[in-house]
Amino acid sequence: MKSALIVDDDRNILTTLEIHLEESGLTVETASTGAEGLERYRNTTFDLVFLDLKLPDQNGLEVLRKMISLNTEAMIVIITAYATIDTAVQAVKTGAFDYLPKPFTPAQITRILEMGRKVKALESENRALRGIVSEGGVITRSRNLRKVLNTARQVADSSATILITGESGTGKGMLARLLHDWSPRSTFPFVVVDCAGLHENLLESDLFGHRKGAFTGALQDKEGKLKRAEGGTVFLDEVSEMSPAVQAKFLRFLQSREFERLGDATSIKVDVRIIAATNKDLEELIAAEFFRQDLYFRLNVVALHLPPLRQRPEDIKILTEYYLKRFATLNG
């Protein structure tokens, strides 16, 4: 286990757990509300979560259910000063890995860590025996998909721009997240840009930012996602939907690693890794003059293609089992 999230509104608990987990070799993030904890959980892959049952804004069991719906791989430990057998059983039935009453001792935390590592090792050994790879929500027995994952792990350490292709639903976003988590940039932001969901001006503002008054509705200065991702990764989802004007401006950024906000002539330099994804054939779009060839060459430094499920039928059974187990846990 490498990473942990602590969600608790008690500052003393947060500090105590954080120190103990960091001394045990884990990277730790903290949150003091359910909403903040869920936001961090959505944006980062954690191996272990310590979740308080009593939070100022939400019930811990409800937060537990939401976390499980997002990712069943993390081991979630419920912690509370309001310990009862009923809540303990309910938490475990909902999907909690363990239950820890306050006050607790360092020895109890160490026991949970040891037990968690043993369970992870057994799960990994079981999957290996069955020829199954499970990484960040990507579960497969397919030789072709395992090759893609192996290549992705090899290139994750570099800063090379990556283009992920594949049909809708093949897991392009999950693979982008894995690339970030495997990379030296994993402690910095992973920022998603939805190229298909925004109009041209809004997409340009989303990427680069703007100054107040740069266009109608620009009521205040805005920092773009390129700047917000400093040191980390920017994931361009459905990059094929960029307008020609935004393509041109983004190409200039890839060439110089500098850009200007809308309505501002000052250049901003950032250090980010770019991962782009599309469900369309960019070479066909280039031929039809809908996508710039020079931008394609800049994005396609490393190409990763995700095959659809119909091309890996060996995964149908294990995915069915996974989702049946997941939804059975969620629905009691």
Q: Which residues of 29-65 are buried (b: 16+ CB within 10 A; e: fewer)?
A: bbbbbbeebbebbeebbbbbbbbbbebeebebbebbb
Select the CATH number that applies to the domain covering 3-127 from these four: 3.30.110.30, 3.40.50.2300, 2.70.98.10, 3.40.50.970: 3.40.50.2300
304 — pLDDT class (breaks 50, 70, 90): very high
Average pLDDT for 299-307: 95
Please state which architecture CATH assigns to domain 135-310. Answer: 3-Layer(aba) Sandwich (3.40)
Before 308, cis peptide (omega within 30)?
no
Encoded tokens for 221:
């200065």
Query: What is the model's pLDDT at position 105?
Result: 84
Average pLDDT for 59-73: 85
**Residue-level length of the chain:** 332
Q: Quote the CA–CA distance of 210 and 154 in Å, as a whole number.
A: 37
Query: What is the model's pLDDT at position 84?
Result: 60
Query: What is the model's pLDDT at position 129?
Result: 47
pLDDT digits (tens, 9 = 90+) for 204-214: 889 998 888 77
pLDDT digits (tens, 9 = 90+) for 4-25: 999 999 888 888 899 999 998 8
> Among residues of the chain, what percentage have pLDDT more than 70?
92
For 238: left if phi > 0, alpha if psi spans -120 to 50, otherwise beta; the answer is left
Mean pLDDT of the chain: 87
Query: What is the model's pLDDT at position 130?
Result: 56
3-127 shares its CATH topology with 135-310: yes
Q: Quote the CA–CA distance of 284 and 287 in Å, as a whole number.
A: 5
Beta bridge partners of 302: 162
pLDDT digits (tens, 9 = 90+) for 228-263: 999 999 999 999 999 999 999 999 999 999 999 888
- 69 neighbors 94 (Cβ within 8 angstroms): no
> Any idea where the domains of the chain sit in the sequence?
3-127, 135-310
122 — pLDDT class (breaks 50, 70, 90): low
Residue appearing with tokens 């990277």? 27
Beta bridge partners of 99: 78
Q: Indicate the helix (H) or strand (E) that contains 72.
A: none
Average pLDDT for 86-90: 70
Q: Say how many CA atoms lie within 13 Å of 5 toward its Cβ.
A: 26
Distances (CA, A) of 76 to 47, 64, 134, 164: 9, 8, 18, 31
102 — pLDDT class (breaks 50, 70, 90): confident
